[in-house]
Structure 1
């Protein structure tokens, strides 16, 4: 198996939870984003980066994208966590807008449904979500119902397609 590194940037714990599960499953190195400057890229054949989606952007993705030239001959995977279901239009749009066509050709991306944890959110994010939910209450009651309370939909099952890709067993559709 390839020597793999999992890097994560997590604000409320969901990206970290998935990162730990990946590290256990792959028996590979795990690194918090805060320690990203310690990485020796030549030590790895595969790099997995994970972060939550905030206002349509994957947390910390600009840093990883700046490293893509150094990762040219490596397997690069990005997973994004988010509160909305994978089939929600907002999720699809967020996943597509984070990468240019050239970046998307180099990076295999996955969305992992996670949740919301208002208790761990920074005050400004909590305030933004309260205002957003207030707007949604009348404009999109279905989405409002999803986002109004904390929840955790993380699942080891959700990692199967990513693990199949990393292990070279990806099912082609």
Structure 2
């Protein structure tokens, strides 16, 4: 009888593990990420929308970003990648370099709400023309950031010293 119980417990554990993989890690999510809606985290979605408001997108490249029902899941937005297990945003690359110089996104500012993307590892602001506006200090506090691309982004002012404390990967 005990052999059957062990097999049943093993089967249930395996089934739960399989279910977790199929559902993208939603089973067993801890309480601190309780505000995960679907695959994404609402405060991170709001941070991305604030970031978008700081951009001028004349050609509507970021049309997948929005508040409408069909656009709620920021993990499906162009230029955004999330961890399938946790729903946290891990990559932000809103400007695709193949657009060409006539199609750059323009930046008015980088929203300080981006600091809420504490799991961000990859930030690509390359080819977003910030027209000499100062680079924001809070970027240095994104402690998981490992890749930063600022090529052709046209920032002005001093570069925050905290950013040099990170260990970046070469691409």
| Structure ranking higher in helix proportion | 1
TM-score, normalised with respect to structure 2 = 0.32
The structure richer in strand per residue is: 1
Bigger CA radius of gyration: 2
TM-score (norm 1): 0.31
